[in-house]
């Protein structure tokens, strides 16, 4: 397998860290970003100039373009761009402040978009490349107390599906990785929490129990690295892939319910059509 050059955001911990190590261990080169590059010092000590530590806050569009350019200038190309930086914003919809909502989208949605836009000119010019968008089972379903996180990932899913169609003629591939519950600090140190409203207090234990049942057996982030390597090495990688065993069942129940409801209300859908022959949503 030919050596690959990676650009990974949020490489200081969690998935980003494990995937950077896996890529480096097999001889690839990695531009690894973090808000604090001291968290990447041990990777530099271990792998030398095959790792390029870059200080980056992905919400800064200009900095995103600069970091991607620096990676290309250092390594000469890009093969795999991993938009992993993100966090979970907890809070019921009514509880969220404007700042909390905007900050969630700035990181999870816009941060990935800016890095993607920065990388695309290089990928198009070389006629190859693979963009990995780290989404979530929460990007295709939705759960109480993380509704705005769901919204940020649904947006990522939407523009990434369109992107995949737009860049396919240039030889560039796009994959949405949709993890279930994993043993990372996503719901721990890296999470943010809205100020709770007393009106919802009686619901909190039920919501917490529902979450515990969804992630009763968390996945191993280290094991996910082998799965990711298989995806980036595939000649025809998937547009979407679940990480973990739980997401498929969650998705199937959710989509079965959606289809049943859409079918039940199809007469109303037809009523809304009226006499128009145009059904183009655009």
Which residues are annotated as catalytic?
Answer: 135, 149, 153
List all residues 6 or more positions away from 265 whose beta carbon is below 8 Å from its beta carbon: none
SS3 214: helix
138, two tokens: 């929460």
N- to C-terminal Cα separation, the chain: 43
Say how far apart CA 37 and CA 49 lie, in whole Å: 15
Query: Which contiguous run of DSSP H or E holds residue 221?
Result: helix 221-233
- 113 CB neighbour count, 10 Å cutoff: 21
Evaluate whether 63 touches 111 at the Cβ level (below 8 Å): no
Helices 98-105 and 147-167 cross at an angle (nearest 10°) of: 30
Say how far apart CA 174 and CA 163 lie, in whole Å: 8
List all residues 6 or more positions away from 196 whose beta carbon is below 8 Å from its beta carbon: 91, 92, 95, 204
Q: For tokens 């907890």, what's the residue?
A: 90
How are the residues of the chain apportioned to helix, strand and coil, as percentages rounded to the nearest 5? Answer: 55, 15, 30
């Amino acid at each position: 397998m030919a050596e690959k050059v990676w650009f990974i955001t949020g490489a200081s911990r969690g998935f980003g860290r494990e995937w950077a190590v896996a890529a480096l261990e097999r001889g690839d080169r990695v531009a690894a970003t973090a808000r604090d590059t001291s968290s990447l010092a041990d990777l530099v000590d271990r792998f030398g100039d095959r790792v390029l530590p870059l200080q980056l806050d992905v919400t800064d569009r200009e900095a995103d373009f600069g970091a991607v350019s620096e990676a290309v200038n250092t390594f000469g190309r890009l093969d795999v761009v991993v938009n992993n930086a993100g966090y979970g914003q907890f809070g019921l919809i009514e509880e969220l402040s404007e700042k909390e909502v905007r900050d969630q989208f700035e990181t999870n949605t816009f941060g990935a978009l800016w890095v993607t836009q920065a990388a695309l000119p290089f990928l198009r010019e070389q006629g190859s490349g693979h963009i990995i968008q780290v989404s979530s089972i929460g990007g295709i379903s939705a759960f109480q107390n993380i509704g705005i996180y769901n919204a940020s990932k649904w947006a990522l899913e939407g523009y990434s599906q369109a992107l995949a169609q737009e860049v396919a003629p240039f030889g560039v591939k796009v994959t949405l990785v949709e993890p279930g519950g994993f043993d990372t600090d996503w719901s721990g140190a890296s999470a943010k929490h809205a100020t709770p409203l007393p009106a919802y207090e009686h619901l909190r234990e039920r919501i917490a129990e529902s979450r515990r049942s969804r992630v009763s057996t968390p996945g191993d982030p280290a094991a996910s690295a082998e799965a990711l390597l298989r995806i980036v090495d595939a000649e025809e990688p998937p547009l979407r892939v679940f990480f973990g065993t739980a997401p498929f069942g969650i998705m199937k129940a959710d989509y079965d319910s959606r289809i049943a409801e859409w079918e039940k209300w199809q007469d109303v859908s037809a009523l809304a059509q009226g006499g128009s022959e145009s059904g183009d949503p655009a």
